[in-house]
Amino acid sequence: MFGTAGNSIRLMFRRELFGPVSLAGYSCIHTLSRDPREMYFKIACQWRDFAATAGNLKRLPPRLGYGVCLSLDINRRQMEYVSCLVVAAKEDVPQELSCLILPELDCAVFDHHGDAALLPCTLQSIFDTVLPEEGLYPVTFGAPAFIQRFSERFDPLTGMGGLEILVPLEN
């Protein structure tokens, strides 16, 4: 199923069943910033710290990276973000990393082709415009707020190369 919504930029999405999947990652709680570049810098630093440990993981192909926003509290201006990779089993995860086991989720999947620093603008359009106009509701309990799926083309140094945003939906 495909949908569109938005004013000046039309965000296209498709529905996809995602998971179940086991992920290993590095979790941080971030204070939300009004400056998208500041948030991008914080997340990029988190990925850099994770990369120092990720080389020891027994990963499953394809070697895609995932950014999982476990919680998003707009009132407190905080989010918990996990930079992670797919692993075969929980036993493969070193103690210094978190293990996430996500069940199968019905998701709206959006492509983000621009600079990753502009991701907050895309997320705002998704949650404030696209989903309401399509009559879709994000899961509010028991699932991540959103998931970023980075392609192998993504360059973390430039923030370019494309990624997908997966938003778990209520059934």
Per domain, the residue ranges of the chain are 2-168
What does the pLDDT look like over 90-111, one tens digit per residue? 877 888 899 999 999 999 999 9
What does the pLDDT look like over 111-157, one tens digit per residue? 998 888 888 889 989 999 999 999 999 998 889 999 999 888 887 76
One of 3.40.50.2300, 3.30.70.580, 1.10.1240.10, 3.20.80.10 is the CATH number of 2-168, namely: 3.20.80.10
pTM: 0.87
Mean pLDDT of 53-81: 81
With a cut of 90, say whether residue 69 has pLDDT above it.
yes
Q: Tell me, letter by letter, the H, E, C secondary structure of the chain.
A: CEEEECCCCCEEEEEEEECCEEEEEEEEEEECCCCHHHHHHHHHHHHHHHHHHHCCCCECCCCCEEEEEEEEECCCCEEEEEEEEEECCHHHCCCCCEEEEECCEEEEEEEECCCHHHHHHHHHHHHHHHHHHHCCCECCCCCCCEEEEECCCCECCCCECCEEEEEEECC
